[in-house]
A and B are shown apart, each in its own frame.
Chain A
């Protein structure tokens, strides 16, 4: 498997360039995600092994930051609209949309209202969200929950099943230790344990939260301090996909049966970990910007049964 994987990865690097950086796709084989590229996916599509690019199960939109208007992108409404157009043009519409947080920039009511108005243009109407730290900066921490709290009885975390996949939505932006990383907290971890108890290990699991559930770069808070306790609960499952936002760029890792993936923002890019003074908006030229913004779509592949992640940029 590992030889096969590295072979594909080398081809991936070349072919993704040919595709203008259109994205990377993960396919699950024998319980382990293997990165393959879109060109390979096309080849599989024509093969007798069945379709790799099946009906998209869901699309992940992240870090829309409605309300942001600075130089890094003066038109975040426009780039979200472009993103929505890409999703709406998909030949087969995803069953649901997941927004992994930072819906707004400053948690202001008018920002939430505008975000909801823009997102309502999605042809797929089932929207699941988790809050980002930018969605919970209002002094009373109520604006997000007034709009999106119903699914979780105002806890923020919840789970649901769709197409034989179990989805777990988690919140790691409300509790934290000063000077530290995001935190899930004991109460939420206990809830996850109860939620996963008795579930078949053959059921694919998708976990999504705003901040990365693995430590990408601690000095910038790009991680979750107690994520290890979550991973201990997830390891027994044959297929786990962990989707996050927050860092406005794709970083991915495969560890055993767990695939970690962070999505691009639709609003503005951020620097690579440790470059510059902090994790603020990265100013790039107008030509480069749409290549650094985008969405991820996650497909169910029936033969063999698998999940795949496909990242698309705006241009």
Chain B
């Protein structure tokens, strides 16, 4: 098992009980219509995103510094992911989700799921 696979397994283990799909995906090719949030210069871009229920959102790290994505309600928490790595989470239920990076808590963003 590579380190990345271990990381992915940990993430899956961490959220398995919540019944959500969430994964670190360093080599995954995501569908063109799935929304991506770029992380650059210590910011999520866009900072506000609206998607339909059932959508998988992918965060891609373009910084030289690792970041992560955690929900302020504890719904999900990615492991740290490094440059050009990404993390995806499928939002099943409508609602407003506030996320932050625990390494750099100034980084915040909101996902609205309709």
Which chain A residue has the least Cβ–Cβ distance from B109? A178
A257 within 8 A of B: no
Please determine whether B104 and A106 come into contact, CB atoms closer than 8 angstroms: no
How far apart are the CA atoms of A301 and B33 in the complex, in Å? Answer: 66
Task: Jot down 29 A-B pairs with beta carbons below 8 A, ordered by A.
Answer: A70-B83, A106-B66, A133-B102, A133-B103, A134-B80, A137-B102, A138-B10, A138-B79, A139-B7, A139-B10, A139-B11, A139-B14, A139-B15, A140-B10, A140-B14, A176-B102, A176-B105, A178-B100, A179-B100, A179-B108, A182-B105, A219-B106, A220-B106, A221-B104, A221-B105, A221-B106, A279-B104, A280-B42, A281-B65
Let me know if A107 and B79 touch, CB within 8 A: yes
Bin chain A's interface residue count: 20 to 34
A30 interface contact, C-beta 8 A: no
CB within 8 Å of A: which residues of B?
A: 3, 6-7, 10-11, 13-15, 41-42, 63-66, 68, 72, 77-80, 82-83, 98, 100, 102-106, 108
> For window 211-235 of chain A, which residues contact chain B by CB distance below 8 Å?
219-221
Total contacts A to B, CB within 8 angstroms?
86
Q: How far is the CB of A145 from chain B (nearest CB, A)?
A: 14
**Dominant secondary structure at the A interface:** loop
Known: A176-B105, A179-B108. A108 touches B11 (CB 8 A): no
Q: Is the C-beta of A105 less than 8 angstroms from some C-beta in chain B?
A: yes
Which residues of B lie under 8 Å from residue A137 when comparing CB positions? 66, 68, 79-80, 102-103
